[in-house]
Structure 1
Amino acid sequence: MKIIDWYIIKKYLGTFVFTIGIFTVIMVIFDVSERLDDFIKHDAPLSKIIFEYYAGFIPFYLNYLSPLINFIAVIFFTAKMADQTEIVPILSGGFSFNRFLWPYFIASFVIFLITLIFNLFIIPQTNRLLVDFTNTYIDPKANNSKMYTHLQLNKNSYVYIENFDNNQKVGYRFTLETFKGDSLVQKIMADRILWDSVKNNWKLENYSVRKIDGLKESMKSENSKVMNLDMKPVDFELYDNLFKAMSMKELNTRIKKEKIRGSGEMDALLLEKYRRFIYPFSAFILTLMGVSLSSKKVRGGIGLPLGVGILMS
């Protein structure tokens, strides 16, 4: 690599970081003015606002706006180089335009890697802070109950819960049906089902078991019973932002379960998964667009290409 390559890379990354800083300040100022009433209304502690809400808010929106930030940064420093007649000598010195693009794509590859790492490992963790805070202090749902839920636990087992209260981790009118082929062989019914977060299992109250063996049937009833079932309270969450807070491992596990259960969440799950991989590639596309838009010197300095770039974005 030549000195000019390092010069462009430093310009690119330096402008990108500077633009991130400006966007961060602007976002926080506008968000504080918008959310202040919610913070006061729900008595959100200052420590939680800083170390949970904004610790999740800033990474999430910087990652979300990174293509725009990248695009503006490329246009800004490239238009400035063109305005100062730095690009013409580079191309006149034996660099083709394709060769001139090399350092741009090296820098965009660095941004691609950083964005990909954030998308896969860091953003889900910070999103968890943001989601928990939002659902507690900004948009709490007093009635976090899911009605008439059907789940397929495995090839032969089907669950129905008429009403599940996620605040109390309690379900009502629970039914578990087990099939062998097309024949029902067992049906478990309970008035209530409770989640034990310490033991990670379910407790059935006022339950009965009906077993069917051909023409023979038997029925047994008891007050309570502990069962291990392949489901958790998170499967009954109502919050729309739930998937954003899942790690890749949790997301893949949920997708595998959804393939069996078919509860209608597959599209949202796959969209969230693929978005994390595809989003970083925008660094390369927007870099090429930004250089093409701003590498030619025009009247009016950097204002015209920068204005066109912002208008396009």
Structure 2
Amino acid sequence: SALFTFIAVIFFTSKMASNTEIIAILNSGISFKRMLRPYIISATFLALMSFTLSNFIIPVTSKNMQEFQKTYLKGRQKSGQNNIHMQISPGVFAYLENFDAVKKSGFRFSLEQFDNDGMTEKLTADQLIWDSISGLWTIKNWVRREIGPKGEVISRGATLDTLLNLKPTDFYVDVDDAIYMGYRELRQFIEMEKMRGSGNLLTFEIEKHKRIAFPFATIILTVIGVSLSSRKVRGGIGFHLGIGITICFAFILFMQITTVFATLGNLPPVIAVWIPNFIFGILSIYLLRVAPK
């Protein structure tokens, strides 16, 4: 975590400053920027490790926990969705008046296909039921209209087992699933949901940008920590740690505020996530300039 790294840097550097080791290093002819180099290298390594873990390793290793939570902890929390519109593939649109996530069935289903000339086919049904064994959908009381150059062909029936480019999970999106997706999987999921016209993507987009912004914050906070705690003060380590904890709370507060703005649609997710890094990046440059040389 960038915040734990920040506190560790402040504690370590403040300890050196209180023992006048920083003064000795600078008096020996080593510049402050040269002294900062090992910190930057270590922070970059930790940032890369954090990026790799959060995007490629932790999501994969957490799949079993996700399945356990969905089966035993969240199974009863699933609720139905109403008035679902989505584009399941180019030119193919689905509508469902109501879908029950527990029973995996829906009512008032319609599937429309379009080409450049307009609608080519429309399938409507009173009920749509998922068969988990066969992987097919069973539609009841269905009517199909096929529109061609010679007119319409209408067919109907009581039941029909058919293969659709849909799964029950496509009708409801659990925002908690974002933390269990790798970066590539998360990006593909967002692109697919955008194509389908889903409006519940802000949480996923915020999570995607956090996967990059948080590791980068490790470097920024390291520079702030070194610049802040390298000066020997009367309060010593306690004074530096107090300022460091205050900065940590400020960083978390900024992140929470901007995330709320993004969730409400007032800020693009990428801007909301990177604003704290931008503000604290400016602070790091200022502290670096006034640090003891």
- TM > 0.5 fold call: yes
The amino acid that maps onto 1:190 is: A
Confirm or deny that 1:87 pairs with 2:40.
no
Confirm or deny that 1:170 pairs with 2:131.
no
Superposed, which structure 2 residues align to 1:124-203 within 5 Å?
124-125=59-60, 128=63, 131-132=66-67, 141-142=76-77, 144-203=79-138
Secondary structure of 2:29's partner?
coil
Confirm or deny that 1:104 pairs with 2:47.
no
- Please point out which of 156, 159, 171 is paired with 1:236: 171
Same amino acid, percent of matched pairs = 41
User: Displacement of 1:127 after TM fit?
Assistant: 5.2
Distance 1:105 1:198, change over 3 A: farther
The amino acid that maps onto 2:99 is: F
Distance 1:220 1:147, change over 3 A: same
Unpaired runs of at least 5, structure 1: 1-65
Structure 2 partner of 1:298: 233
User: Displacement of 1:196 after TM fit?
Assistant: 3.2
Q: Deviation string for 1:85-114 (max 9, x for gaps)? A: 221212222210000011101111121111
Distance 1:220 1:175, change over 3 A: same
Instruction: Check the 8 A contact 1:191/1:205 in 2, yes or no.
Output: yes
Distance 1:259 1:250, change over 3 A: same
Q: Deviation string for 1:207-266 (max 9, x for gaps)? A: 221112246222212233333322222222253322222233432332222232222134
User: Displacement of 1:178 after TM fit?
Assistant: 1.0
The amino acid that maps onto 2:115 is: K
The amino acid that maps onto 1:245 is: Y
The amino acid that maps onto 1:84 is: N
- Please point out which of 168, 188, 195 is paired with 1:253: 188
Q: CA RMSD in A?
A: 2.3
Secondary structure of 2:176's partner?
coil
Deviates further, 122-131 or 198-207: 122-131
The amino acid that maps onto 2:222 is: T
- How many Å separate the matches in 2 of 1:199 and 1:108? 51
User: Displacement of 1:278 after TM fit?
Assistant: 2.2
| Matched residues, number | 248
